[in-house]
Structure 1
């Protein structure tokens, strides 16, 4: 059983027929694709719940009440005055990183393109802005309860996390006279007001029924589980580690009168060869950039095809070919979990793989075959490099039998992303195709006498070939190699040297078909 389906069944047994899957994000700057693990994990569990007949919601909580913690590299020094202020209440940066009061809020500025990117991979959550939950007074009861039980919460945090809280710690952080939470000291509480003094010597009162302040993170997280009835929220291993905010959140949530979700921890996505993604370290690939390069079903398969407790290496280089190959093999030959000759382990694998394939579709319930558009990722890579216009690609695909009529939206988007990938720094150099017009001196030096004989006879056979179709070209290459006892590997290496100036390349028969008979003969004749 796929991990999402297994989780859905567990949730039914633990919490009944009504489920709320949740994920969230702090809109403090550009997002990286590592954030998608939590989001897609929650969304896939939500889909699995729906498939199991459960009443399920998927909510996405934006931590818009979180403060600006520092002046990031993309911000001007003018943002220094906003440190400690909620992201929803400070202006968005302009193109130079300066605060722009006319550009909306900082939180919305970074959130909007991210939500658009989520839509491209079929994620359409119910978005909840946390500052609005505070503004609407939905946190008020939880805040009052937390203040009334401050000593018990302090004991929970200190005993579980192993760290000692400051003597002035208070389970609520009011905004001071400058709108910042930094340098504010609580001086008293008279429901519903928290009294304070700030670093400027000003005094005031925060109304817990409004967005005049917020709960500290460990309490905020626990409180929102109860406010929104969350039954499932995957957490990264930083929050899910022993003594982390998930461990403290469980008893705090119960203390505040609600039942928390069961603990569920996922491993991080890592940039291949560079370690975990991190916005602060700059070791990132943004989801907007990634989705301009990678087909959305491949991004979903990256998550759906991996167990939650295993880290994922994300690679927009050569490994993308391997991932696409794996997905395409799965779609082309879906495993039959009912086959009688399968062992128990093979049946489990078949069910798991079918689940991954189902959850990889952008649209829930869509036919996986539609995502391929009738052509493999590798073949499209070759066409996009050889053919300068999209219409030439479609014409070639019609001639080869890969396309009938006009391309569908999925195929058109695949070609667009392929061209973006080829034009980016991420495309692997050894996959770039430059067709030679004549046989280079380097290629001639690499060819053996047997390979020269093979190429000379192949040219004659190709001249006489009745139909210039890929299967016929492939059969001809094999037959000439057999007759002249060169062996398949030697034959293909000879062709690659002549065509590309190296000893490897895409499928040779497909390459010859696309180049065309006349150009191939001219090249072999040179």
Structure 2
């Protein structure tokens, strides 16, 4: 029987995808009779370009399952295989520090390609691995990284490589069950995906014999090579290259090459004893790498196929499907500049793997923060359901540690408005703290109490706020508009200016701006709004926006007033004496 955390009732997590998958992994592990062996969850990442938010699902799905298993006191590790020995396929677009000259490196291992100009890293792969490693640390994801360059060049995979070469006819037969004989004319095929014939499936040009191995040329360094002869007994291999060179080597001593993808993946399942590894939609269709790998790991490498749910794509508000090879895509590092780490974890944890995820960098981000804050309040009050509580717990803590959170979580929408109006000036921000957060005079709130969320808001305003959404107070009062006001409008401004002296806080200003039309109508401040009263409030709000920012709309008026400060508000709402 699988073990649940803290004796939790099974029915309380029956709809919780993380616990369900952890149950399945543990049960399979125990059924195999190797309960003393550490459970292995795995991910694979190719540092061929920016590692984007779609790739993050490849990591967070097994991370959450491994974390749940460790929370139950069961030994489990998370492996991340860096596919840095893969070939460099194309020069990506939108990557700073490179130009068309990088095309001369196409076909070389990623670790043999120079890093973009100005990079502090020794090669292409390390340049794109580094920000992902940093992001995973910030997200609370412990893992053991495996460099495929190191594994292949150290000779760690010599024996399984020789096995694959001996069993090449059987491998060819398995692959042949799924070949479509179509050319690699889709993006997926061109990227080494599952559409058409995999371009990584090597065939000797002389005999037509299939070889599941691609050597890198010693002369030009690329894999534009063809094996023309191989002897099983001696492991002598001869291959030629498009550059004109030819080599004869002993494969048992040769480490400058790798198994093709559809053979390499199941080989690693067996080599590392992987129990759980999800895969994207493109690797989970009929005849895909995952299905073919399941046959090869059993029939050739003597291992077992890991539990491997399919995960759906991750989209970005306003953008199409992400592709590392095209560059210019949001990465986990860039997301963490505007998302608090627990919030980003929550976006992935709350959806089942087969459900699509949308990550918002536009105005929807404020709504996501509002959802997160509402959930946090419900959890603190003990009024949320078991599934929501688990999702929240997995987002703010791991089996090893708690993630940093903002001590005073002011609404993100409010922070962005304040940052925008004050242009991020620390002195003005500090002045507004008393209005944003009720503080103890003996222990005043500081800007640090609003971080990291304040930093996220500042970055969003600078890099993501649409230009037309920026709010700037008028430098001088609109004398013409003020002169044209009728008695009702003048009275509303007088009531507002008098009220500013009473409670300069977000709640106080909210009560004031909604209450002025009520007072004018002779109603108590706590009167529930009628349609007529709502119309009067809208008229009053439009007047304030026109006088403050020269527009009919803007950020929430209480926030705008708070950010502007009493002096600026009085300046905009009061006609100058002539």
Using structure 2 for the length normalisation, give the TM-score. Answer: 0.79
Which residues of 2 match residues 256-295 of structure 1 at below 5 A?
A: 256-282=301-327, 284-295=329-340
| Alignment match, 1:89 | 112
Q: Which moved more, 1:250-259 or 1:447-456?
A: 447-456
The SS at the match of 2:355 is coil
The answer to whether the Cα contact below 8 Å between 1:176 and 1:196 also exists between their aligned partners in 2 is no
C-alpha deviation, 1:283, in angstroms: 5.8
Aligned residues between the structures? 508
Give SS of 1:122's match.
Answer: coil
The Cα shift of 1:368 comes to 7.8
Q: Does 1:412 align with 2:457?
A: no
Is the 8 Å Cα contact of residues 156 and 248 (structure 1) preserved in structure 2?
Answer: yes
The TM-score, its normalising length taken from structure 1, stands at 0.86
Q: Determine whether 1:468 maps to 2:510.
A: no
- Matched ranges for 1:306-385 at <5 A: 306-334=351-379, 350-361=385-396, 370-371=405-406, 373-385=408-420
User: Residues of 1 paired with 2:45 and 2:339: CA distance?
Assistant: 23
Verify: 1:36 aligned to 2:72, yes or no: no
Structure 2 counterpart of 1:106? 124
2:177 to 145, 159, 162: 159
- In structure 1, the residue matched to 2:190 is none
In the alignment, does 2:118 pair up with 1:129?
no
Which structure 2 segments of 5+ residues have no match? 1-12, 182-196, 522-532
Query: 1:509 is matched with which residue: 549, 558, 563?
Result: 558
Distance across 2 between alignment mates of 1:479 and 1:448: 19
C-alpha displacement at 1:259, in angstroms?
1.1
Residue from 79, 82, 86 that aligns with 1:66: 86
| Counterpart selection for 2:515 from 479, 486, 495 | 479
Local SS of the residue matching 1:313:
strand
Aligned residue in 2 for 1:518: 567
SS in 2 for 1:276: coil
CA RMSD of aligned residues (A): 3.2
The Cα of 1:162 is off from its aligned counterpart by 3.7
1:327 CA drift (Å): 1.1
More off after superposition, 155-164 vs 263-272: 155-164
Paired with 1:191 and 1:391, the residues of 2 have a C-alpha distance of 77
Q: Deviations over 1:136-161 (max 9, x none)?
A: 33322322222222222112222135
Residues 1:223 and 2:270 are matched in the alignment: no
- Give the aligned partner of residue 177 of structure 1: 218
- 1:278 is displaced (CA, Å) by 1.2
Report the Cα distance in structure 2 between the residues aligned to 1:445 and 1:332, rounded to whole angstroms. Answer: 47
Q: Which residue, out of 40, 57, 64, partners 2:77?
A: 57
- Quote the offset at 1:500 in angstroms: 2.9
Going from structure 1 to structure 2, the CA distance change for 1:391 and 1:305 (only over 3 Å counts) comes to farther
**What is the CA-CA distance between 1:239 and the residue it aligns to?**
1.0
1:525 and 1:271 map into 2 onto residues whose CA distance is 45
- Change beyond 3 A, Cα 1:20–1:494: farther
Q: CA deviation at 1:439?
A: 4.9
Taking a change above 3 Å as real, the CA distance of residues 314 and 204 of structure 1, as seen in their structure-2 partners, is: same
Once the two structures are overlaid, the 10-residue window that deviates more, 109-118 or 444-453, is 444-453
Secondary structure, aligned partner of 1:261: coil
CA contact (8 A) 2:140 2:401 kept: no
Range moving further from structure 2, 506-515 or 10-19: 506-515
